[in-house]
Amino acid sequence: MSDPTIRLTELAHGGGCGCKLAPAVLRELLSEQPMAGPFRQLLVGTETSDDAAVWQVNEDLAVIATTDFFMPMVDNPEDFGRIAATNALSDIYAMGGQPIMALAILGMPINKLEPAVIRRILAGGASVCAEAGIPVAGGHSIDAPEPIYGLAVMGLCHPAQVRRNAGAQPGDALILTKGLGVGIYSAAIKKGALPDGAYAEMLASTTLLNRVGAELAKDPAVHGITDVTGFGILGHALEMAQGSGLCLTLRLDDLPWLSHAAALAERGFITGASDRNWASYGDRIALPAGLPDWRRRLLADPQTSGGLLVACAETEAARILSGIREAGYPAARIVGRAEPGEARVAVA
């Protein structure tokens, strides 16, 4: 018999993109997997850990495919569905595409959750897809020990407008479109310690569609895009650095944060995924001398439905940033630069 008072987060050992396997574990699991192979039409596969796969149909059309799902980081069912759907759609926007339809991915502990709760999760996801102008056209469901929800999403773009995480060029400015600290907030939620107003702030960020990515991809001054999710700003910047063969320098004082992220991190509200992330890639990160440990953990904090990290021509960065803010991303900032050198990330 299901318990109507049970919290969603009580049913999950992790939540949001903090559930992602650590980068080092993922590399080990994929190390013996065959590469995508010599498929001429496969424009983007697994080679640079990009956000989605891209298949060229003809000279004017490419199909983008992605899937993303996770366990709840919040207890409100509609909010869980909305956050998960926004996060899944982000991969399409990060590649420069427009989503066209989604399929639901659902795993639920049927004996622990009321059907009405599960319907509310699905309704939350469907509402975000409606906002994006696409249908949830089907899906697949299983009885699972922990609640899982997400989407498989298909999108379209012109092949010339595909933007990869490997496209940064020497001298490019780096722009981040949303504030960081979602993992910190989720840790505080689990312990009932989130300050007043912080939940609404987190929800506004995690349900803000990254649709600006499709517009940015039309701009020839924009060279590379990736979304910042479970590996934290350091991990996803490192993927861009390695894919592009450049050193990415992030300016610590210019990074945007959710308003309570630093204070909560200093008090110890850190996810386990933050430490797993750092253990996976910390040897390729240069940090300022004397940086407090809680600030290092902030930089590896897993983001759920985070912003886009955009590499663009430095001479056009102010114009591009202004356009991003006008499109509805007030937290957007110029946060660093791509430079020739060893493929790594430096924090200044």
Q: Is 275 annotated as a binding residue?
A: no
From 45-59, 70-84, 317-331, the region with the lowest mean pLDDT: 45-59
For residue range 186-210, list pLDDT tens digits in order: 999 988 899 999 999 999 999 999 9
17 an active-site residue?
yes
SS3 216: helix
Query: Using 50, 70 and 90 to split pLDDT, how confident is the model at 16?
Result: low
More confident residue, 121 or 21: 121
**pLDDT above 90 for 254:** yes
Query: Using 50, 70 and 90 to split pLDDT, how confident is the model at 1?
Result: very low
- In the block, which residue shows the tokens 């001429």? 40
Alpha-carbon span 258 to 335, nearest angstrom: 15
CA dihedral 347→326→226→51, nearest 10 degrees, is 150
SS3 331: coil
Question: Where exactly does CATH 3.30.1330.10 map onto the chain?
Answer: 8-160
SS3 132: helix
Residue 333 has, within 13 A of its CA and on its CB side, a CA count of: 14
Alpha-carbon span 338 to 240, nearest angstrom: 10
Alpha-carbon span 200 to 217, nearest angstrom: 30
Q: Is 219 annotated as a binding residue?
A: no
- How many CB atoms sit inside 10 A of residue 13's CB? 9
- Residue 11: what pLDDT? 78
Alpha-carbon span 30 to 51, nearest angstrom: 16
Task: List C-alpha distances in Å: 169 to 93, 116, 181, 310, 328.
Answer: 20, 50, 28, 11, 26
What's the average model confidence in pLDDT over 81-108? 97
The dotted CATH code for 8-160 is 3.30.1330.10
First and final C-alpha spacing in the chain? 55
What contacts 337, CB < 8 A, 6 or more positions away?
171, 172, 173, 174, 248, 249, 314
- Residue 26: what pLDDT? 64
Q: Is 141 annotated as a binding residue?
A: yes
More confident residue, 291 or 9: 291
Fold of domain 164-347 = Phosphoribosyl-aminoimidazole Synthetase; Chain A, domain 2 (3.90.650)
CA dihedral 267→272→277→280, nearest 10 degrees, is 120
What's the average model confidence in pLDDT over 240-269? 96
- Residue 24: what pLDDT? 66
Residue (of 174, 165, 169) closest to 348 by Cα position: 174
Question: Where exactly does CATH 3.90.650.10 map onto the chain?
Answer: 164-347
Residue (of 211, 214, 153, 205) closest to 182 by Cα position: 205
- Residue 190: what pLDDT? 86
- In the block, which residue shows the tokens 């499709």? 214
| DSSP letter assigned to residue 178 | S
Alpha-carbon span 121 to 99, nearest angstrom: 21
Q: Is 50 annotated as a binding residue?
A: yes
For residue range 284-334, list pLDDT tens digits in order: 999 999 999 999 999 999 999 999 999 999 999 999 999 999 999 999 999
Q: Is 260 annotated as a binding residue?
A: no
Q: Is 305 annotated as a binding residue?
A: no
For residue range 324-337, list pLDDT tens digits in order: 999 999 999 999 99
Q: Is 91 annotated as a binding residue?
A: yes
Alpha-carbon span 319 to 324, nearest angstrom: 9
Tell me which amino acid residue 151 is: L
Find the catalytic residue in 17, 129, 157, 312.
17
Q: Could you tell me where the DSSP H helices lie in the chain?
A: 23-30, 77-94, 115-132, 182-190, 198-206, 212-216, 232-244, 261-266, 272-281, 293-299, 317-326
Query: Using 50, 70 and 90 to split pLDDT, how confident is the model at 5?
Result: low
Residue 47 has, within 13 A of its CA and on its CB side, a CA count of: 13
Query: Using 50, 70 and 90 to split pLDDT, how confident is the model at 102?
Result: very high
